[in-house]
Amino acid sequence: MFVDETERGGHLLAATLVAPAALHSTRSLMRSLLLPGERRVHFKSEKDSRRKFIVSRIVERTFDVVVVSSREKGDSARAVLLERLVTEAVDRGVSRLVLDSRDHAGNARDRVVLARTKARDAGIVYEHI
């Protein structure tokens, strides 16, 4: 489960579930969408025409997606959403949870939230990348 987030109009966590057997082909797809000099695809810096192109390529594949959202912003809202996302991960048999790396303090807050969930009991490994 790979997670990204936004705080536009509240807080939203979106997670894409990728089966281990599909990781290589999914990474290849994402690399094929990079422009020269880019390290990752990020909609924040893309023009609308480029966004449409990226989406058109991604929707050619079938991905399960989980979205959790709140009208609230900030770390407390994010913590609640992260707990809900872990519940979904446990229910779906996820083995690995990948979060965008934040600053040191933000990653530490995530670890506290994850420690109070059932992630470890379910054997979910999590990391910030």
Model pLDDT for residues 4-48, shown as the tens digit of each residue: 999 988 999 999 999 999 999 999 999 999 999 988 888 877 899
When pLDDT is cut at 50, 70 and 90, the band that residue 90 belongs to is very high
DSSP state, 34? P
Q: What whole-number percentage of the chain has pLDDT above 70? A: 100
Q: What whole-number percentage of the chain has pLDDT above 90? A: 81
78 Cα distance to chain centroid: 13
Mean pLDDT computed over every residue of the chain: 93
| Beta strands in 1-129, from DSSP E residues, in sequence order | 2-6, 11-17, 64-70, 96-99, 125-128
- Strands of the sheet with 96-99, listed across from one edge: 64-70, 11-17, 2-6, 96-99, 125-128
Span 71-99, average pLDDT: 95
- Integer angstrom CA distances of residue 37 from 41, 46, 101: 11, 14, 21
Give the pLDDT confidence score for residue 42 in this predicted structure: 82
Give the pLDDT confidence score for residue 44 in this predicted structure: 79
Alpha-helical segments (H) within 33-93: 48-58, 75-91
- Integer angstrom CA distances of residue 76 from 1, 14, 49, 92, 123: 22, 17, 35, 25, 25
- Domain locations in the chain as residue ranges: 1-18+66-129, 20-62
For strand 11-17 and strand 2-6, is the pairing parallel, antiparallel, or unpaired?
antiparallel
Give the pLDDT confidence score for residue 62 in this predicted structure: 87
